[in-house]
Structure 1
Amino acid sequence: MTTDPTPGPHGSDPRGYPPPFPTNLQPAGLVVRFFARLIDGIIVGIISLLLFFVTDTLSNYWVTGLFTGLLTFIYFVAFETAQGWTPGKKLLGLRVNGPAGAPKPTAAQSAVRNVWTLLPIIPFIGGLLGVIAILVIAVTISGSSTKQGKHDELAGGTQVVKG
């Protein structure tokens, strides 16, 4: 029995499934994504410190954690939906695409993709949950041929790409 070598309607997958990642884009790996997040984290930290000094919220740990968590979430969602990148990603030549290669994610997709940044807001166990989320995301990015993490999958297939 021979198989038909003719590719299906979506490229080389004989089952006819569309490729999980547009072939003209190169996925960004874990290390460069980590450094982009680190740069963005430093930027958010500087903004938080400036706002803390202006509003004098440093004295209240819970307000500080809530404020920083919300600021981080808003920062990522706002930049990804407006620009398709955050400053850290832009600096390292990355961008966030929506599912199926859309130029940027929708607000809902970006919110789902970044909801884990709100975990540290939860009193007592939030920090631990945030670390667990980071580990799950890192492991799933490393194990994916398209370098998409669990958060990308949950957001409908968002993709961090080079370019």
Structure 2
Amino acid sequence: MSAVSSADALIPAEFPVRLLARGLDVLVLAAVDVGLGRLMGYGFDWLLVGSAFVFLYFSLLDAWAGATLGKFALGLRVLGPDGGRPTVRQSLRREAFTLIGSIPFVGPLLALAAWIVIARTIRASPLRQGNHDAFAGGTRVVQVARFVQ
């Protein structure tokens, strides 16, 4: 089953709108993360639970709903190689890079490097697919035309 109706034209989503959607998701996740930290303390357990929550938030929402909250808000959808929603496996592979930022000490620098590589590969691709999309088997992010003016 397709995540987007056949009446909607699909336009490859550009990096700036994808980054804005990720930013909206980060606001939601930051609130949850602070809540978790206040509840369980800001220790190693919090790092593990928070990292797992972030990874699963992006992976499972993309697989089950075709988009995260930020993507929904901006009219973006994630498609699998067949044009429907990505499978859970594809989504887990696509979002694996999010775990890099959780590595103590060097994680933020590695995450920044990953984002730079992803941004460059998205901009270089005609379908705006990053290397994380290729790693997932050919997923892509599209802008649903009814949201584009």
Tell me if TM exceeds 0.5.
Answer: yes
Work out the CA distance in 2 between the residues paired with 1:136 and 1:142. 10
**Partner amino acid for 2:118?**
I
Say whether 1:32 aligns with 2:17: yes
- In structure 2, the partner of 1:18 is none
The runs of 5 or more residues in structure 1 that have no matched partner are 1-23
Q: Which among 137, 149, 160 is matched to residue 130 of structure 2?
A: 149
Cα offset, 1:128, TM superposition: 1.5
TM-score when scaled to structure 2?
0.86
What does 1:17-96 align with in structure 2 at a 5 Å threshold?
A: 25-55=10-40, 57-58=41-42, 60=43, 62-96=44-78
Q: CA deviation at 1:68?
A: 2.4
Identity of aligned residues (%): 40
The structure with more helix, counted as a fraction of residues: 2
TM-score by length of 1: 0.79
Mark the structure with the bigger radius of gyration: 1
Provide the aligned C-alpha RMSD in A. 1.3
8 Å Cα contact 1:83/1:104 also seen in 2 = yes
Q: Deviations over 1:37-64 (max 9, x none)?
A: 0000111111111222222x22x2x433
Query: In 2, distance between residues paired with 1:79 and 1:28?
Result: 18
Work out the CA distance in 2 between the residues paired with 1:51 and 1:66.
Answer: 11
Give the match for residue 117 of structure 2.
136
Deviation per CA, 1:22-42: give whole Å up to 9, x if none: xx5210000000000000011
- Among 137, 141, 146, the residue aligned to 1:160: 141
Q: Where do 4+ consecutive residues of structure 1 move more than 6 Å?
A: none
